[in-house]
Structure 1
Amino acid sequence: MIKPSQLQAEDAAFSQVVPAGDYFIKEIKRGETVRILDLEGNQAADTLFFSAADPTERYSAVDTIREQGNVYLTAGTVLMSTAGNPMLEIVADTCGRHDTLGGACASESNTVRYGLETKAMHACRNSWMLAVAEREEFGLSKRDITHNINFFMNVPVTPEGGLTFEDGISDAGKYVELEARMDVLILISNCPQLNNPCNAYNPTPIEVLVWQ
């Protein structure tokens, strides 16, 4: 569902451009709104959410899909935690649909899908691993890398129940906004994928903005 925001970028308390292939990590307080902005279009932002109070409580794709009865996320979706608690609500969305099934790229999956020569290519899981290693103050580890959301990514479900990776449905300037229902940690890998069309084979920057 397309639902524009009433918030203005110049009023944001925080903003940061995240280059393709880099990670972003930050605590978002309850009641704050975070916007993920696709600056150039067709980018994919692979995102993990954790309770800031206890990172073992984290975003659950299973509970979120069950509660809303839909495999795609958009305005009005409440992201549920593994403990059954509301974590965030998508309050604005100019893209219209986001994937919660396709998972994140990794060196291992790249090798299986695209050939041995792709093993050394950077992947989202590498970005997350670097984040948990460099930002120890957030208390995350390798075991915390689980269900993720692929904002802006287009992963249609086939009639047979399979998944396909297609061209992104986002465009330059489109965004998704989430209001935190609890204090959360957000960890984004701005996807560097070059082997499938999730970002038009051209990884580009995103911007993250936060309103208090």
Structure 2
Amino acid sequence: MKTINLVIGAALLATFANCKNEESKEAQVEEQQKVKTVDSTAAEKARYADAALTPAKPVMPENYEIDWEGVEADEELKMDFDNWVAYRTFSESLSKLELKEVPEEEITDYITQLEEESTSLENTIPERLLTEEVMEDIKDIREEVADLRRVTEQPGVDESKIGNQVEELVEAYQDLNEELKETMTKKGSTLLDDNQ
């Protein structure tokens, strides 16, 4: 009988110990899940905080005009540039597109407008600003507008592809701005050198 009592007692102790271990394991699992939840939430919050602080792409100036600070351009050439209405019109249209101020249902008509404005850029450029490099940059802009049309006409196109193409167009525009600044600086210094 003593042996049976000892076996039953040992079995009860083992069962009690197993239950205790199971409760301990469950508590550990719950604690680990809580820690993981807290860690993933912290990581998500940090990621969103970083995203809010660092823009995904470079931000263009609000007016999309050339920044003349530090540029010594010939005043007559700058006046020609300032009177180039087609440039300002295209700049404003590109600004609205890049800043997503164009409703999605109007994008096709807007691209037609950009095509017309880029053609006007090419046809109305002041003669004294007309260089091979400037013309090449305008050609690049026209090609990027055509690519934007092709991308938007694809059935079921992903919005990110449209965004990427808009970025390409903005980069071509920025290249034109840089070339215009260089052209006005080079020609300005050449004119000064010729007068001396």
Question: Normalised by the size of structure 2, how large is the TM-score?
Answer: 0.24
Q: Relative CO higher for 1 or 2, CA cutoff 8 Å, sep ≥ 6?
A: 1
Give me the TM-score of the superposition, normalised by structure 1: 0.23
Q: Structure 1 or 2: larger helix share? A: 2
Structure whose CA Rg is larger: 2
